[in-house]
Amino acid sequence: CICNIDCSGHNENPVCATDGNSYNNPCLVREASCMKQEQIDVQHLGRCAADKEKVGKKDDSSPFKVNVLETTGVDHGDGFYAGMPIPCAESYNAFCVHGKCEIKYNMATCRCDAGYKGTKCEDPQDFNILYVVPSGQKLHYVLIAAIIGAVQIAIIVAVVMCITRKCPKNNRGRRQKQNLGHFSSDTNSRMV
């Protein structure tokens, strides 16, 4: 059985699963469900209550994760502690080309750096994944924004041209004022 689930790009958003373990994000729950070949779902957001008892405290009373490799009396059978991956031993430092090695379910796996994928993070990701490409639902917002931007640029260009070249409307207005100032000899005699 091969589980082709890549959770490397997901943010940390702890959840408690129906198997009683906490996971860093819902994607890891799907991965665990696939690896164990059993139905595991998200039970609730946040860590499971049993895991909170296993978490230690720093001097400033903030929680920290217990280093699994240095603890005794904890069952490491599935390579997971409270749903958290275990860092690999130093002998696995070169295992991942562009990423960090972690032990999940007694298997060395890689958490890839941004821009890389593959079992050992050796393949660069596709171009469109690295850059924001709007989905079909948001595409009309992008098009509206582009049209509004183009209209704004056209208005700015028209205003700048008007200021630097003196708009034709102003020239017509000045000509009319000049014509009003010049009276023919017939109109002067009538005004007197």
Tell the residue number behind the tokens 């405290």, with chain if given. 57
Of 24-33, 89-98, 171-180, the one with minimum mean pLDDT is 171-180
Question: Of 59, 57, 56, nearest to 68 (Cα)?
Answer: 56
Question: Of 43, 47, 14, nearest to 28 (Cα)?
Answer: 14
Q: What is the average pLDDT across 182-192?
A: 53
What is the per-residue pLDDT across 48-84, written as a single tens digit (0 to 9) for each? Answer: 887 555 544 444 444 444 333 333 334 444 444 445 6
Tell the residue number behind the tokens 């393949």, with chain if given. 123
Q: Give first-to-last CA distance, the chain, whole Å.
A: 110
Q: What is the average pLDDT across 162-181?
A: 63
Is the confidence at residue 91, as pLDDT, over 90?
A: no
**Which two three-digit tokens encode residue 32?**
């665990």
In order of 61, 67, 160, the CA distances from 70 in angstroms are 21, 6, 71
Question: Which pTM does this prediction carry?
Answer: 0.30
Say what the pLDDT of residue 172 is: 54
CATH of region 15-130:
2.10.25.10
